[in-house]
């Protein structure tokens, strides 16, 4: 769907507000529990949260690498995203093939699913006290903000609001597992010869880029 100016302004405002909220939550979480407690992977549900967070973040970081032509800007933006949490897929010049990306994303989804099921069996319900600490709350809100970011991409990608709603609901319910499933499904719409970066675009823009080599080159700028 085409992005009109009011939509762009609304999205800029939304993400600016989310960034401020997330920064405040990160300071509160680390200040209350300490950094060591926030990343203590010996706590099984903390490990699940970190993995869920990391997979969604990896998708957003891949988009940053694709989007930015300057490695200087990439070097600044990626640490910012790592520490701030949000703000996927690599550029066609450096990225893996479509088949390789399918395998990588499928493996990440299976790893996340397997870890979730294992921890659920061993440690019980995900509504665990570990997740209600300051760091736990901040982390899950951060993941929710990532889902908002990914949902905007899904809404752009999907031609039908019904399919967009279905996929966004899967992101909300299944987190990074839903993210991996969605990306793998989208990758199956690409032929092995196409650049994996085309997965970023909806069908209209994808055809436009595929048919114009000059536009294709500019997607790396």
Q: Give the tens place of pLDDT for each residue, 180-210.
A: 999 999 999 888 888 888 888 877 666 655 5
What digits encode the pLDDT tens for the residues 55-113? 888 888 877 777 765 555 545 544 555 444 444 343 334 457 889 889 999 999 999 99
How many angstroms separate the Cα of 96 from the Cα of each of 93, 101, 112, 193, 206? 9, 6, 21, 11, 18
Domain containing residue 156: 5-218
45 and 139 Cβ atoms separated by less than 8 Å: no
CB atoms under 10 Å from CB of 136, counted, come to 21
Q: What is the pLDDT of residue 88?
A: 37
Counting residues of the chain whose pLDDT is more than 70, the rounded percentage is 69
* Comparison of pLDDT for 212 and 167, the residue scoring more: 167
* pTM over cut 0.75: no
Q: Collect all residues with Cβ–Cβ distance below 8 Å to 150 and sequence separation of at least 6.
A: 56, 59, 60, 171, 179
Q: What is the pLDDT of residue 93?
A: 44
Going by the DSSP 8-state scheme, the letter that residue 2 receives in this structure is -
What digits encode the pLDDT tens for the residues 136-165? 777 788 888 889 989 999 998 998 899 999
Separation CA 62–CA 171 (nearest Å): 18
What digits encode the pLDDT tens for the residues 41-62? 677 777 888 888 888 888 888 7
The number of folded domains in the chain is: 1
Q: What is the pLDDT of residue 213?
A: 47
């Amino acid at each position: 769907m085409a992005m009109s100016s009011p939509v762009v302004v609304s999205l800029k405002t939304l993400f600016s507000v989310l960034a401020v909220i997330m920064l405040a939550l990160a300071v509160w979480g680390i200040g209350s529990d300490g950094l060591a407690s926030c990343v203590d992977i010996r706590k099984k549900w903390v490990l699940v949260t970190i993995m869920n967070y990391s997979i969604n973040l990896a998708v957003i970081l891949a988009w940053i690498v694709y989007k930015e032509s300057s490695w200087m800007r990439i070097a600044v933006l990626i640490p910012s995203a790592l520490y701030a949490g949000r703000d996927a897929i690599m550029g066609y010049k450096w990225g893996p093939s479509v088949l390789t990306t399918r395998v990588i994303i499928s493996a990440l989804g299976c790893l996340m699913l397997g870890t979730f099921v294992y921890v659920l069996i061993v440690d019980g319900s995900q509504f665990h006290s570990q997740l209600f600490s300051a760091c736990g709350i901040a982390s899950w809100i951060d993941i929710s903000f990532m889902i908002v970011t990914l949902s905007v991409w899904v809404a752009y990608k999907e031609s039908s609001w019904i399919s967009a709603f279905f996929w966004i609901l899967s992101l909300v319910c299944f987190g990074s597992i839903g993210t991996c499933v969605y990306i793998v499904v989208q990758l199956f719409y690409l032929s092995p010869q196409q650049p994996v970066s085309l997965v970023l675009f909806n069908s209209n823009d994808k055809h436009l880029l595929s048919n114009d080599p000059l536009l294709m080159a500019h997607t790396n700028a």
